[in-house]
Structure 1
Amino acid sequence: MATKPRSIFEDVNDVQKPVAAPGGIDAGGKGARGAIRVWLMVLFALVVVMIAVGGLTRLTDSGLSITEWAPISGSVPPMSVEAWEAEFEAYKQIPEYIEQNAGMSLGEFKTIYWWEWGHRQLGRFIGVVWALGFFYFLLRKQIPVGWTGRLVLVGALGGLQGAIGWWMVHSGLQAGMLDVASYRLAIHLGLAFVILGFIAWFVFLLGRREADLMQARRNGEAKLFSMSTGLMHFAFLQILLGALVAGIDAGRAFPTWPLMGDGFFPPDPFQISPIWRNFFEDAGLVQFIHRMSGYLLFAFGVVVWLRGRKSANGHTRFGFNVVFAVLALQMVIGIFTALYSAPVHIAIVHQFMAVLLWVAILRARYLARYPLTQSIRGT
């Protein structure tokens, strides 16, 4: 655009300088942050339910009741007596039925079938909710700048989770297997927590404007953020160890505490050959490692909590207080789970508390990185 010629007598101070528009940082990437955040919250709730249903499926020994992976046709359950008989006959061919459930009635089979079918159906529903939401915001060009890849990541991990779920189930259909391979169960559960973690983190970030996040990061506490990151990784390791315990029913092996039976160490912990298999298949050793890791996690959690209490930000201090409270409660529930040989109602509470602890740690870590503003009176 042509500019108006300036007079040689014009005072340079009279020139109108462009004024920066407020909110420039957010202008290019505003998008439907609030609506996307709500959509992610729905996905978050569904994943939490999925973890709970998956835990109940495992605790009721229902996971091997469907012996094929049919992502599309499998969404329709048996609709006739003949279809139910065909499913039951397929189940009768696997080792779990032959060696553990021989003589099971069709009615009993239907009970475990519905658990597994519901688990898979919920996974399909989560995929549909993700796809509908993502393409809705994409086609309307409402995804903020820089967020398309993040939202695709959530969907891609969900698809990978479905494939790993079948990879896990397939291991339990092989000769000599009465359950799924424990390490595959750990990978399956671990990925569920990774997905949950990404969704939670994105929900936290979308709750504030980009400009606010940039300003908050300048006031972040790097050391506390680093320590909470370490706590997050340690908690994830403990979740994986818990999955190994669940995979071989190791939680029911030693209903004593603080000792394991009559001693600190479980008796005869290395009887399986080769020796590395003991770390995945020996019930006493797997539970022992889970217990020791739990003690270390609690000790490190106390260290991080004490550091968090020194934060000048009241919101951050509260976030780390929540982490400590949930961590202490989870440890108590874990002890009761062992003492009562992991009954379904206590074991599922223990798993749900792992979800709460995971989210509490992520929230505290977020507050260490992006502290909320507070009044001078609140410091």
Structure 2
Amino acid sequence: MSKRSIFEEVEGEKTDAPAAQPGLIDRGRGGARKAIRAWLMVLFALVVAMIVVGGLTRLTDSGLSITEWRPVTGAIPPMSEAEWQAEFDKYKEIDQWRIQNQWMELSDFKEIYWWEWGHRQLGRFIGVVWALGFLGFLAARKIPAGWTGRLLLPGLLGGVQGAIGWWMVASGVTQGEGMTAVASYRLAVHLGLAFVILGFIAWYVLMLGREERELMQARRAKEAKLFSLSTGLMHFAFLQILLGALVAGIDAGRSYTDWPLMGGQVIPPNPFMIEPLWKNFFENPGLVQFIHRVAGYLLFAFAVVAWLRGRSSAHARTRFAFNAVFAALSVQVLLGIITVVYAAPLHAAITHQLVAIGVWVLILRARFLSAYPIATSIKDH
């Protein structure tokens, strides 16, 4: 072996070292991210529609028109006059008809029946869309690494939601108990789970909108204080949604129509008139509406704090996200006042619910951008 000078040219010599390959983080993890995201967006739209139809079903007092839970055979509505009459006869056995709706003819019953049937049918359709998408991506092995459990979760929660839906309806399908509506706390659980499902889907859509390596890089710039504030705001907003369901469940929004006072007082008259005491927090219309109002004021104050903090973010899109939350929540407060003053007319009430969905999703987006900020160049500021 000959000696070589340390100054000898070595250019052109072969080397066994492999060339650097970019994008290794995403390799084998990508799957069909865009297709899965599109499928989740369809599910998102369907869940929003489900919440709206559920709200209309409640506002039209249609939820107790179907007195049985038949997950499979219930998909087929009455096909003859005899079948319609049989369904009507079942409805006549419950307290809602005996106390509230004895004036109904078969034609009137059909109207409320179609609302409830449509609500249940939409739930079945959402289940089918989820199952086809999930099983299809699973069979094609197109689900990104680490996402199988995440994509399974909305389907599992959807199944639980169906059972809770019947648990809710069963509370109003009574004979001789004087119930003319479903239990408000069960309605709150039902609506709350719908928002949880919607929240998971929205979060997944946001995550799949960016590559894995981009999320890993963005996480290093996480704005911890903003993330904590937006997380608190998310939980507070969820609590207010549950309180809104309690208001809706007993039509408490129509009990006091003056604002900012209630019956000319800060605290409505007889806030604890029901025995035992705890029932007032679920069944006393004045107290339930009062709690919802006060929680709304506190939520708005919390949102102001989060918004002011969000304005100091180093990232333009994060700042805009918090601006959007504050704007949407301001509109929601105004809608809440209008809904109360006009005694919760159908259009105002359903718009109030729709904007609640918007506020919920915008809070989630602000929280996401706090955890995974999008860096912008100086010229973008």
TM over 0.5: yes
The residue aligned with 2:41 is 41
Distance 1:204 1:59 in 2: 32
Equivalent residue number for residue 254 of structure 2: 252
Does residue 312 (structure 1) correspond to residue 317 (structure 2)? The answer is no
Question: Are the aligned partners of 1:96 and 1:179 in contact in 2 as well (CA < 8 Å)?
Answer: yes
User: TM-score, structure 2 length as denominator?
Assistant: 0.96
Give the alignment partner of residue 263 of structure 1, picking from 251, 262, 265.
265
For 1:23 and 1:226, the matched residues in 2 are separated by 31
SS in 1 for 2:178: coil
Instruction: State the Cα distance separating 1:19 from its structure 2 match.
Output: 3.2
Aligned AA for 1:336? I
Pick the aligned partner of 1:229 from 228, 231, 235.
231
Question: Quick check: 2:99–2:178 contact (8 Å CA) kept in 1?
Answer: no
Partners of 2:50 and 2:89 in 1: CA distance = 28
- Counterpart for residue 99 of structure 1: 99
Instruction: Report 1:47-86 matches (<5 A).
Output: 47-86=47-86
The residue number in structure 1 matching 2:335 is: 333
Q: What is the CA-CA distance between 1:378 and the residue it aligns to?
A: 2.5
Match for residue 200 of structure 2 among 198, 201, 206: 198
Q: Matches of residues 347-358 of structure 1 in structure 2 within 5 Å?
A: 347-358=349-360
Cα distance between partner residues in 2 of 1:245 and 1:288? 10
Q: Greater CA deviation, 89-98 or 13-22?
A: 13-22
C-alpha displacement at 1:76, in angstroms? 0.4
**1:150 paired residue number:** 150
Hey, what's the Cα distance between the residues in 2 that align with 1:41 and 1:168? 28
SS in 1 for 2:25: helix
Q: Please state how far the C-alpha of 1:14 moved relative to its aligned partner.
A: 6.3
Does the CA-based 8 Å contact 2:161-2:194 persist in structure 1?
yes
Normalising to structure 1: TM-score of the pair?
Answer: 0.96
Identity %: 67
- Contact map agreement 1:127 1:155 (CA 8 A) in 2: yes
Q: Distance in 1 between matches of 2:81 and 2:15?
A: 87
2: CA distance, partners of 1:138 / 1:122: 24
Aligned to 1:299: 301
**Contact map agreement 1:313 1:378 (CA 8 A) in 2:** no
User: Conserved in 1, the CA contact under 8 Å of 2:52 and 2:354?
Assistant: yes
Aligned partner letter, 1:28: G
Following TM superposition, by how much is the alpha carbon of 1:20 offset from its aligned partner in structure 2, in angstroms?
3.6
Q: CA deviation at 1:8?
A: 10
Paired amino acid for 2:75: S
For residues 46-105 of structure 1, give each alpha carbon's deviation from its aligned partner in whole angstroms, at most 9, with x where no partner exists: 000000000000000000000000011000000000000000000000000000101310
Q: 1:167 to 1:318 in 2, by over 3 A?
A: same
Q: Deviations over 1:324-378 (max 9, x none)?
A: 0000000000000000000101000000000000000001111111111311223
Letter in 1 for 2:355: M
Deviations 1:294-313 (A, max 9, x none): 00000000000000000011
Q: Is the 8 A contact 2:77 2:117 kept in 1?
A: yes
**Residue 136 (structure 2) pairs with residue 140 (structure 1):** no
**2:161 matched to which residue of 1?**
161
Distance 1:317 1:77, change over 3 A: same
In structure 1, the partner of 2:362 is: 360
Q: Distance in 1 between matches of 2:16 and 2:31?
A: 32
In structure 2, what residue type is equivalent to 1:200? Answer: A
2:277 to 268, 275, 278: 275
In structure 2, which of residues 249, 263, 286 is the aligned counterpart of residue 284 of structure 1? 286
- Quote how far apart the aligned CAs of 1:15 are: 4.3
Q: Quote the Cα distance in structure 2 between the aligned partners of 1:78 and 1:173.
A: 20
Query: Structure 2: which amino acid aligns with 1:304?
Result: A
Report deviation, 1:321: 0.3
Partner Cα distance (1:20, 1:82) in 2: 75
Go from structure 1 to structure 2 and tell me whether the alpha carbon gap of 1:102 and 1:217 turns closer, same or farther (over 3 Å shift).
same
Question: Does the aligned pair in 2 maintain the 1:330–1:353 contact within 8 Å?
Answer: yes
* One-letter amino acid matched to 1:215: Q
How far the C-alpha of 1:28 sits from its partner, in A, is 2.1
1:126, distance to aligned residue in structure 2 (A): 0.2
CA distance in 2, matches of 1:33, 1:9: 56
Deviations 1:266-293 (A, max 9, x none): 1001011000000000000000000000
CA distance in 1, matches of 2:147, 2:205: 12
- The number of equivalent residue pairs is 373
Give the root-mean-square deviation of aligned CA atoms.
1.5
Counterpart contact for 1:234–1:297, Cα < 8 Å? yes
Amino acid at match of 1:79: M
CA contact (8 A) 1:95 1:178 kept: yes
Amino acid across the alignment from 1:129: V
Alpha-carbon shift at residue 230 of structure 1 (Å) = 0.3
Post-superposition, which runs of at least 4 consecutive aligned residues in structure 1 deviate over 4 A? 7-15
